Structure 1
Amino acid sequence: MVTSAERANRLFLVLAAFFVSNALLAEFIGVKIFALEDTLGVAPFEWNLFGQNGSLNFTAGTLVWPIVFVMTDVINEFFGKRGVRFISWLAVALISYGFVFAYLAISLAPASWWVGVAADQGVPDYQAAFAAVFGQGLWTIGGSLVAFLIGQLVDVSVFHRIRRATGERMVWLRATGSTAVSQLFDSLIVLWIAFVLGPQQWPTSLWLAVASMNYGYKMACAIALIPLIYLVRRLITLWLGPGQAAELRAAAARG
């Protein structure tokens, strides 16, 4: 028979594994930039911000980052600051671990037959393609990890400030409110380190324009996913039972 403590431990294990998997996946697929309008088959939206203009282009990592936001809020809800901080540091460590081995894999001498194996698919040099996809620049990796960690630490702090003010009411407010503040930091920091401090030396106007577009996209996703937060919360309560779910939320609120 599964005890209540075992149920809570299994829940945290599943949430942490899903959180880290999505964070790691977002980092590796984030090298691809996609055009939102072309993907949706609509006319380009020519935004104009800070004297810069362009279409809606985002990294492929934005497909899964919203899930990370949801997981952060759910873990905040049931396991509090300690839970979120633990999985955030764990995610940073495992992402760094993944990039180390990606670079080691790039440095391995490729088999001569393998280099041209995908030439008929339009990839004349498989080694160059592999290095381009998995060998993200150190500025990009550093910016992403620093922004992710700061964003998570800000998120957990804001989440619990709102929780103390509202109690068990208005789950949507603490979820979207914490995301609104944390993702502002994340959006500004990652681009500043990767493209302003980095070799590309973006002007301030471009940095602010692109960061604003990314922030707007993240907030739109956060608002759209509010029903999912309530659904996951409900499913967890069914799994744990109302009594234990309430106990975990109360303990999380106390810190």
Structure 2
Amino acid sequence: MIHNILKDRPTKLFIAMAAFFVANALIAECIGGKIFSLEKVFGVQPANFTIFGQSGLSFNLTCGVLLWPLEFIMTDIVNEYYGPRAVRRISYTAVILIAYAFIMFYLAISIPPADFWIGSGATDGVPDMRNAFNVVFGQGMWIIFGSLAAFLISQVVDVTVFHKIKKYTGEKKIWLRATGSTLISQLIDSFIVLFIAFKIGKGWSWQLVLAICLVNYTYKFAMAILLTPLIYLAQKRIEKYVGKETAIQMKRAAMATPGAGADNIVAAG
């Protein structure tokens, strides 16, 4: 039986997408501690604009936003071919493994370091490796909790909006349900993570939280539009891999009932 499962192309595709989804989410969390200037990436000076009375704002973004748009694209692809239950399954898996990773990070931080290791980076400009390690891997608990909560809630919203739009569009206008669901879920994701991590955790003012939320969402909005062609590219590759007839069966199973998609992975093959 196990050999038949591993030979089944829809099943192998789901495993590959689930693995990429989880790895991408974990990497995004790990690199999220670095803030970069989007304007400087394009060789221009920071914008320094004002929103909600907050001046001096510019597109300073966490490096995590480089990968999160791919998560929502993957969500829409999995939703299209495997259904909501499959999306929930990989989302819960991602959250559990991210939480596990941070527990291991904090365990590693708490372990007493070897004396020689602390100063081993001095020649590279890092006089205290212990502090450097702690700063890189020791993200605040409010930030971790906010990020995970925002991720789970936004995934649920994305799945719900995606299927509501698909009920009206059918198989047509995949760009509308994919981009539409992403735009709504990204707005919720941006607000929740900032609210938990910085309004509750740091005591930021509502004006500052909303201003930064709008800046972050503007970037995510633009990326959602720009990455829309990837949905069509992925659709073509999937149909070529599993076969057009199988792809149609997978889509029908995904839309049949809220839980049918994940349970019919093998049956569709």
TM-score, normalized by length of structure 2? 0.92
Specify the code of the residue in structure 1 equivalent to 2:101.
Answer: G
Aligned length: 254
Question: Tell me, what secondary structure is at the counterpart of 2:153?
Answer: helix
Aligned position for 1:104: 107
| 1:4–1:240 Cα contact (<8 Å) kept | no
Residues in 1 aligned to 2:180 and 2:90: alpha-carbon distance in whole angstroms: 21
1:30-179 equivalences under 5 Å are 30-53=32-55, 54-179=57-182
Q: Is the 8 A contact 2:82 2:250 kept in 1?
A: yes
In the alignment, the residues of structure 2 paired with residue 143 and residue 3 of structure 1 have an alpha-carbon distance, to the nearest angstrom, of: 37
CA distance in 1, matches of 2:99, 2:179: 28
What are the ranges of 5 or more consecutive residues in structure 2 without an aligned counterpart?
A: 258-269
Q: Say whether 1:237 aligns with 2:248.
A: no
SS across alignment from 2:36: strand
Deviations 1:10-58 (A, max 9, x none): 0100000000000010011001111111222112212211111322100
Q: 2:248 corresponds to which residue?
A: 246
Determine if contact 2:187/2:217 at 8 Å carries over to the other structure: yes
**Would you say the 8 A contact 1:4–1:244 is kept in 2?**
no
- Percent identity between matched residues is 53
The CA distance in 2 between the partners of 1:46 and 1:253, in whole Å, is 46
Query: Distance in 1 between the 2:5 and 2:39 partners?
Result: 50
- Inter-partner Cα distance in structure 2 for 1:254 and 1:182: 23
Unaligned runs of 5+ in 1: none
**In structure 2, which of residues 191, 216, 219 is the aligned counterpart of residue 217 of structure 1?**
219
- Matching residue of 2:188: 185
Tell me how large the CA RMSD over aligned residues is.
1.4
Return the alpha-carbon distance in structure 1 between the equivalents of residues 108 and 37 of structure 2: 30
1:120 is displaced (CA, Å) by: 2.1
SS at match of 2:50: strand
| Letter paired with 1:85 | R
Give me the TM-score of the superposition, normalised by structure 1. Answer: 0.97
Q: What secondary structure sits across from 1:22 in the alignment?
A: helix
